[in-house]
Chain A
Amino acid sequence: MSCMCEQKHDVDAPIRAHVPIGAGAYALTLSAPALAARVQPGQFVEVGLNQPDLVLRRPFSVFDTDGETLTILYQALGRGTTRLTAFRPGTVLRVAGPLGRGWPASDPGARVLLVGGGIGAAPLHMLAVRLSGVDGTQVTLIQAARTAEALAGCDRLADAVDTVHYATDDGTRGHQGLVTEPVAAALEAGEYDVAYVCGPEPMMQAVSALTVAAGIQTWVSMERLMACGVGACLSCVLPTRSGQVRVCVDGPVFDAQEVDWDAARSSRVH
């Protein structure tokens, strides 16, 4: 991938919209033109929460942009995201970005497989939109979540692709069971040149094992606890075949074959 040397910004970003999207997840839209103009699919931002007792910002992948705003999807899980749910439009948050290396582009006309798990599917959306504008590129999405309600939060993802398959834990939409089953079926039924995978780490490991075995170039977006988000603190290191790398600046997107999945287990977030 070429050097991503675009300027990073740290700006005051007023909340434009903030809505629940079901299953404990939210869509947060921030006005941040300087970042929105530059963000690439798969990149992330560090969001300050204006809480003196929370010393770190929170990293979020970008779900969507209209060139002026950034939308992120998040699940209210920890102290920060739980408090974030109460923030109303107009509240100003400090936001740094765009950060990290996003999804590498595929060749024009590529047969593309997107695999998303839970809220982790969010970073695939900008990519799907980008790919839908490339003539001849065929995009298949396999999206999994616990329930149909959890899938619905990311339903715009399906609008940007050619074919979609769903899997839910409880069978409320699509295949009931693990996402690896429809992935295996898709690999059986068709041919793909590149796969982009984002979701919980065990899911990414299992899915990429299948796609790599099928000879498909596979990209995964990794998550680690992050402090600075700019490459200084070495909190978010990930073991790879070529040594320890920083998820924040060397990733978050990595070649699935580069990741040392077993060594990575002890520092998993989810």
Chain B
Amino acid sequence: MPHAPHASTDLSIEMFGRQLVSPLTVASGTFAAGREYAEFTDITRLGAVTTKGVSLTPWAGNTGKRIHETASGLLNSIGLQNPGVETFCEKDLGWLADHAPDLPVIVNVSGHTIDDYVGVIERLEREPAVFAYELNISCPNVDAGGMVFGTDCTAAAGVVAAARAATKRPLIVKLSPNVTDVTAIARAVADAGADAVSLINTLLGTAIDPLTGRFVFDRRVAGLSGPAIKPVALRMVWQCAQVLDIPIIGMGGVTGGCDVVEFLRAGATMVALGTVNFGDPGAVGRILTELDELCARIGVTHVADLIGTAA
């Protein structure tokens, strides 16, 4: 053994009154509901799994190319393709119940209208496995709903209030970075009853084929993720932490344990892995190991002690 063993860090954190095994979750849409990655990594080491966006009815997603790799980043235009909440409950929640019954499940809820969001939540209220909802009001890849709700304080508060009335379960609101002042939206959704915010969703971008002059994506614009956006994400998490009393789930370009520590220090209680899962299907296990070693190096015995310690 090249390294002397150290006393393992306590990686557990408390979220919504429940003790979770680690501060890690995954960014919605990068991990399906966990099944595809279970062959590569122990998904039960996640504090919670966050599912792909679920809508009331099946959504076909976008036509044309759906991804385009950029320098240290990835543009995507998936368009929230999903089979609808009924199939989700049967297949995804069914698989999780059989294979990871103790893994808390955060369901990402998508909609075109307020009634859509409420309809999905009402259906999911009958599913005991759901730990929390994450309202997706920030997807840049759909026309109706999506980011339209997430870039306007009044619209955001409206959808959150309606969802709040539909459930007593913890309600997380996923915020868009495509705004002038993210703290204004964050405050609006907190005032409307959100129990936590998660940020950031993808940054709006585009790409053009230099030879043909054609836009790469049928919708022209797409969402940028990956290490390229990490400094922006970290800044926004820190800004929100200054003005909010509710927990924050930080995400955007995390590729290693160092990034997780940065987000925790910026004020996040949990940190989500997104694009990194594509390049490393074993990212969950690897990053937890790195986090553990880094905590030992820093000298904290409990990972939660890092939250909000940036000075």
Q: How large is the interface on A (under 10, 10 to 19, 20 to 34, 35 or more residues)?
A: 20 to 34
A235 and B282 CA atoms in complex are apart in Å by 19
Interface residue count on the B side (C-beta < 8 Å):
36
B-contact bits for A54-81, CB 8 A (1 contact / 0 none): 1111000000000000000000000100
Q: CA–CA, A100 to B72, complex, Å?
A: 27
Q: Kindly state the separation between the CA atoms of A52 and B36 in the bound complex, as whole angstroms.
A: 24
Q: Which residues of B contact A236 (CB under 8 A)?
A: 66
Complex CA–CA separation, A43 to B296 (angstroms): 42
B79 to chain A: closest residue by CB: A234
Q: Find chain A residues with CB under 8 A from B276 CB.
A: 55
Most buried by A among B64, B76, B278: B278
Q: What is the CB-to-nearest-CB distance from A270 to chain B, in angstroms, rounded to a whole number?
A: 12
Q: Which of A8, A53, A267 makes the CB contact (< 8 A) with B40?
A: A8
Residue of A with least CB distance to B77 = A235
Query: Which A residue's beta carbon lies closest to that of B29?
Result: A233
Expressed in whole angstroms, the Cα–Cα distance for A116 and B71 within the complex equals: 33
CA–CA, A234 and B33, complex, Å:
13
| Residues B31 and A232 in contact, CB atoms below 8 Å apart | yes
Say which one of A27-35, A200-208, A222-230 lies at the interface with B.
Answer: A222-230
Dominant SS at the A interface? loop
Report if A111 contacts B (CB, 8 A). no
Residues of A within 8 A of B218 (CB): 266
User: Do the beta carbons of B278 and A233 come within 8 Å of each other?
Assistant: yes
Q: Known contacts A8-B39, A266-B218; is A53 also within 8 Å of B67 by CB?
A: no
With A8-B40, A230-B37, A231-B32 as contacts: A96 and B73 at CB distance below 8 Å:
no
How many angstroms between the C-alpha atoms of A14 and B171 in the bound complex? 47
Q: B-side binding surface: helix, strand, loop or mixed?
A: loop
Please report which residues of chain B, range 45-63, place their CB below 8 angstroms from some CB of chain A when the two chains form the complex: 52, 60-61, 63
| Chain A 144-196 residues near chain B, CB threshold 8 A | none
Please report the C-alpha to C-alpha distance between residue A235 and residue B69 in the assembled complex, in whole angstroms: 12
Q: In chain A, what residue has the closest Cβ to B253?
A: A55
Residues of B near A229 (CB, < 8 A) are: 278
Tell me whether A54 and B277 are in contact (CB under 8 A): no
Which residue in chain A gives the minimum CB-CB distance to B216? A225
The 6 closest A-B pairs by CB, nearest first: A232-B32, A232-B36, A227-B278, A235-B67, A266-B64, A230-B36
Q: A10-B282, A55-B69, A56-B67 are in contact. List 20 more A-B contacts (CB 8 A).
A: A10-B40, A48-B280, A55-B275, A55-B278, A56-B74, A56-B279, A96-B40, A96-B281, A225-B66, A226-B67, A227-B278, A228-B277, A232-B32, A233-B30, A233-B32, A235-B76, A244-B60, A244-B61, A266-B218, A267-B63
